[in-house]
Amino acid sequence: MSKAKNRSPSDTDTRSSLTGRRFRAITSDMVAYMGRNLNYGYVNTVAQFPGRLDAERLHRASLLSVDAEPILGCRFVDALYHPYWLRRDDLDRTPDLFTLVETRDPDRALEACLTKHLDPRSDPQIHVSLIRNKHDTLCVKFNHMVGDGFSMYEYLYLLAGIYNHLEKDPDYTPPINFTDRELVKEIAKRFDLKQKIQIVRYLLSSVRKDRRNSGSWDFPVS
């Protein structure tokens, strides 16, 4: 299996240029993938609105949001040599990314959204469901492989920001985020060698202390 390739990003990239593009899978992606059957694996957000959202604009905002954060519009390729993310080419027509559900039983529709299974090998890593009854309910499902609870928080602000921009400018397109996802490396750049040695010594000391106190790997540990 050939190694995943990354082109040099540029500010002129568009959605069409993202199609078929590969992104490197980082260590946390692969760890989460291996443990996907051991935990729930999703971060969910539910919000109810007193009025009606613009479904067409929300759909457009959802599409643009996975352009702004390209990894969300990818599927995970479990390659033998090194797994990678591959950008899907059908995001504008698949219900896997966005669905509008008009129903007399919004509770059942909400349950369906919350229990929906996302397969990282084939589905987008985000699912937006607009459930319409007397009120509009928004259910957003986020795959934990690509981010944590704070990532969901950031995504919701991104989605809302795009939605609001589209009201003023229907041709609005957000900038694409090509920031390195290996956050440990980004954080490490902020410390010099002496500080890194101190951190490692502290961590090793904490591990030895935990072992003395617990005597095993059982919880609780400090």
Averaged pLDDT, 130-134: 94
Task: Quickly list H helices, 141-192.
Answer: 149-168, 183-188
Range in 8-12, 48-52, 121-125, 138-142 with the lowest mean pLDDT: 8-12
Residue 208's alpha-carbon distances to 194, 195, 203, in angstroms, are 21, 20, 9
Write out pLDDT tens, residues 65-110.
999 999 899 999 988 788 999 998 888 888 889 999 999 999 999 9
Give percent of the chain above pLDDT 70.
Answer: 82
Predicted TM-score (pTM) above 0.75: no
- Which structure tokens are listed for 39? 């935990």
In the predicted structure, residue 219 carries a pLDDT above the cut 60: no
